[in-house]
A = this chain, B = another copy of it.
Amino acid sequence: MAGSPRRTAGRRLQLPLLCLLLQGATAILFAVFVRYNHETDAALWHWHNHSNADNEFYFRYPSFQDVHTMIFVGFGFLMVFLQRYGFSSVGFTFLSAAFALQWSTLVQGFFHSFHHGHIYVGVERAALASSPLSPSPSQPPSMINADFCAGAVLISFGAILGKTGPAQLLLMALLEVVLFGLNEFVLLSLLRVKDAGGSMTIHAFGAYFGLVLSRVLYRPQLEKSKHRQGSVYHSDLFAMIGTIFLWIFWPSFNSAPTALGDGQHRSALNTYYSLTASTLSTFALSALVGRDGRLDMVHIQNAALAGGVVVGTSAEMMLTPFGALVAGFLAGTVSTLGYKFFTPTLESKLKVQDTCGVHNLHGMPGVLGALLGVLVAGLATHEAYGDGLESVFPLLAKGQRSATSQAMHQLFGLFVTLIFASVGGSLGGLLLRLPFLDSPPDSQCYEDQVYWEVPGEHEDLAQGPLRAEELETRA
C-alpha cells in the first residue's frame, strides 16, 4: 500500500530516529544546564523567606494556561479545516510544539539567562518587562516564552501544512527555534524594543519564515492534490473550535509577559476590544466580497483573529480603547481582503503556496502591529504614563531615549525581524528539500493516510480518500 520498499523502510525509521535523537540531545543538555529558578527551587525559595502568596506562579500561571490552550487547542484545531488532514494537523502541531517547548527552553536560556553555566527555569522571567535595560542573570527562560516560541513554529507550519512530513517539521522547528531566540534577543535585549504580544517576534517572524520556506518548497504540480485542499462541513466546525479558543484567550496571550499590575490589565483590555472590532469588520468584508453576499468560513476562522495580532506590540501601551477598536477594525479588513484577493496572487505570481493563509492572519497584521507600535511608542509622554512609564518604556523614564528614538528602534526591530525570518526561511527551505526526508508526493498532499493509520473510510465517507490510481502514483 505504501510505495516502494526502500521508501517504506526509510520512513519507518526516519521519524522514530529523529524523535529519539532530538529527545536524547535535549535531555543531556537539560541535565547539564537546566536548573530550578528561585521561585521553583525548594531551598532557594525558602531561603529568601518569601510569603508563598508572592510566588510569581499566582500572577502568571492562569495567563500561561490560556496561552498553553491557544498553542495546542487553538492552533491545533484551527488547522483541522482540511477534509483529509485532521490527524496530521492536530497531531503534528502536538509533536512539533512539544519539541519546541524543550528546545526553546535551552535556546532562550543560552541567549537570555546563561549564568554561572546554568539556565534557570520558571513560569515567567519576571524581571524582563520591568527592567529590560540590563538583561540580568535573574531573567530565567520561562514556560510562557517557550510556548510563545512554539506559537511562531506553528505559524510557519500553517504556511506549509499538508506539504511536509513530520520529520521535516521537526527539522524546521530545530532551526526556527534558534533563529526565534536570536531575533528575540536582538530585539528585546539589544534594541530594547517593546513587543509583549509578539506582533514582530512571533507573528511577523513566524509568518515570513514560513512563507519564504514555502516559496523554496514550491510545488508546480500541487493541483494534483487540489481536490483535498478544501474543507468539509464538519472539518470547518472543528476548525471553529480552534478559532474560538484563540479568540477568547488572546487577551491572555498579549498580557502574559507584561509588567504586573496595570500593564497586564491594560494589555488584556485592549486586546479584548481590538478582537471585537476585527470580528465585525471580518463579517462585513466577508459578506461584501462573497458570492451572493454569502459569508466564507475561511475568513471567519482566520481574519476575525487579526485583532489579536495587530495589538501584539501596542496592547501594553496607552493605546486607548478607541485605538484598539480602530486597530482591530483595520486588521480584520486587511486580513479578509488578503484572503480574497492576495492569496491567489501570492501563489500565481510569487509562487508562494500558503495553505492556511498565514500571510493574511499573521504576516500583514503582524507588520501592521509593528507599525502601530512605532506610532504609539512615538506618541508616549510622561503625562500619559505618569510613574507607569518606568514599566512600559524604562529608557524613556530614565531619560536615556526620547519617544521618537524609541519609535525608530521599534521600526528597526521590524526590519531586523523580516531579515531574520527571510534568511531563516530560506535556510529552512534548503534543509527541508533534502531528498531523503518524508515529504509527500504532489498527488498525496493534504492526505493523512501517508503518515497515519486512518480508520473507517468505508463507514463515514462515501468516497474512499485514496483511490487506486493515486496509490500507483506514489513514489
Q: How large, as a class, is the contact surface on chain A?
A: 35 or more
Give the CA-CA distance A99 to B320 in the complex, in Å.
18
* Beta-carbon contact of B460 and A247 below 8 Å: no
Give the CA-CA distance A354 to B387 in the complex, in Å.
55
Give the CA-CA distance A1 to B234 in the complex, in Å.
23
With an 8 A cutoff between CB atoms, is A415 at the interface?
no
A402 CB, min distance to chain B CBs, angstroms: 18
With an 8 A cutoff between CB atoms, is A208 at the interface?
no
* Beta-carbon contact of B329 and A23 below 8 Å: yes
* Beta-carbon contact of A283 and B65 below 8 Å: no
* Beta-carbon contact of A99 and B276 below 8 Å: yes
With an 8 A cutoff between CB atoms, is A379 at the interface?
no
Residues of B contacting A385 in the complex (Cβ-Cβ under 8 angstroms): 42-43
A434-475 interface (Cβ within 8 A of B): 451-463
Among the 9-residue stretches A156-164, A190-198, A293-301, A369-377, the one with 4 or more Cβ atoms under 8 Å from chain B is A293-301
A271-312 interface (Cβ within 8 A of B): 272-273, 275-277, 279-281, 283-285, 287-288, 290-297, 300, 304
From B16, B36, B44, B247, A321 is in contact (CB under 8 Å) with B36
Encoded as 1 (CB less than 8 Å from any B CB) or 0, chain A from 62 to 104 comes to 1101101100110011001001001100110011001101100
Number of this chain's copies in the assembly equals 3
Given A294-B452, A459-B462, the answer on whether A279 and B98 have CB atoms closer than 8 Å is yes
Among the 9-residue stretches A5-13, A174-182, A360-368, A403-411, the one with 4 or more Cβ atoms under 8 Å from chain B is A5-13
With an 8 A cutoff between CB atoms, is A421 at the interface?
no
Given A325-B27, A453-B290, A453-B291, the answer on whether A42 and B266 have CB atoms closer than 8 Å is yes
Nearest residue (CB) in B for A294 is B453
Residues of B contacting A294 in the complex (Cβ-Cβ under 8 angstroms): 2, 451-453
Residues of B contacting A77 in the complex (Cβ-Cβ under 8 angstroms): 241
6 A-B interface contacts by CB (under 8 A): A50-B261, A57-B265, A87-B295, A94-B244, A102-B276, A296-B452
